[in-house]
Structure 1
Amino acid sequence: MKNLMKGSFLCLLVFTLSAAVSAQESFLHNGVTAHRGNSSEFPENSMPAFVSALELGVDWIELDVFLSADGKVVVTHDKNLKRVSGVDMEIAAHTFDEISAVDITWDFRNRHQLSLKDSPKLTVPLLEDVLKLIVSQPKTRLSIQPKMDCVDEVFELIEKYQAAAWVGFNDANLDLMKKVKSNNSAVSVFWDRLPDTDIEKDIETARAFGFEALVIHYSGITAEKVRKVKEGGMEIGAWTVNDIGVMESLLELGVQRIYTDYPRELLKVKEVN
Structure 2
Amino acid sequence: MIVLGHRGYSARYVENTMIAFKKALELGADGIELDLRGTKDGRVVVIHDEDLKRLCGVDVKVSDLTFEELKEYKLNGETIPTFEEVLSILDDKHILNAEIKEANVAERALQLIDEFRLTDSTVVSSFDHELIARLIRKRPDMKFGFLVGEELRNDPIGLIDKLLQHKPYSMHLPHQLFDYPMVFRKIVKMIRKAGAKIYVWTLDDLKKYQRIEKHIDAVITNQVELFVNALKKPQRAEGA
- TM-score between both structures, scaled by the size of structure 1: 0.76
Q: 1-side partners of 2:46 and 2:157: how far apart? A: 33
Superposed counterparts of 1:149-168, under 5 Å: 149=103, 150-168=105-123
Residue number in structure 2 paired with 1:193: 148
Q: 2-side partners of 1:268 and 1:63: how far apart? A: 22
Residue number in structure 1 paired with 2:89: 133
Residue number in structure 1 paired with 2:220: 259
Matched residue count: 226
**Are the equivalent residues in 2 in contact too, given 1:82–1:88 (CA < 8 A)?**
yes
Question: Which AA in structure 2 matches 1:263?
Answer: V
Residue number in structure 1 paired with 2:238: none
Residue number in structure 1 paired with 2:42: 71
Unaligned runs of 5+ in 1: 1-29, 106-120
Q: 1-side partners of 2:28 and 2:145: how far apart? A: 20
- TM-score between both structures, scaled by the size of structure 2: 0.85
Question: What SS does structure 2 have at the residue aligned with 1:216?
Answer: strand
Higher relative contact order (CA 8 A, sep 6+): 2
Alignment equivalent of 1:240, drawn from 190, 195, 202: 202
1:132-191 CA distance string (max 9 Å, x none): 211xx3421211111111111112222332331232111221112123323421211221
The CA RMSD measured in Å over matched residues stands at 2.1
Q: 2-side partners of 1:226 and 1:270: how far apart? A: 22
1:182-201 CA distance string (max 9 Å, x none): 34212112211125374543
Q: 1-side partners of 2:80 and 2:134: how far apart? A: 26
Larger radius of gyration: 1
Fraction of identical pairs, as percent: 25
Alignment equivalent of 2:80, drawn from 100, 124, 127: 124
Unaligned runs of 5+ in 2: 179-183, 236-240
Alignment equivalent of 1:250, drawn from 178, 203, 212: 212
Question: Which AA in structure 1 matches 2:195?
Answer: G
Question: Which AA in structure 1 matches 2:132?
Answer: M
Which region of structure 1 is more displaced relative to structure 2, 59-68 or 194-203? Answer: 194-203
Q: 2-side partners of 1:247 and 1:198: how far apart? A: 25
Q: 2-side partners of 1:202 and 1:31: how far apart? A: 25
1:94-118 CA distance string (max 9 Å, x none): 100110000122xxxxxxxxxxxxx
Alignment equivalent of 2:97, drawn from 139, 143, 146: 143
**Are the equivalent residues in 2 in contact too, given 1:151–1:179 (CA < 8 A)?**
no
**Are the equivalent residues in 1 in contact too, given 2:199–2:219 (CA < 8 A)?**
yes
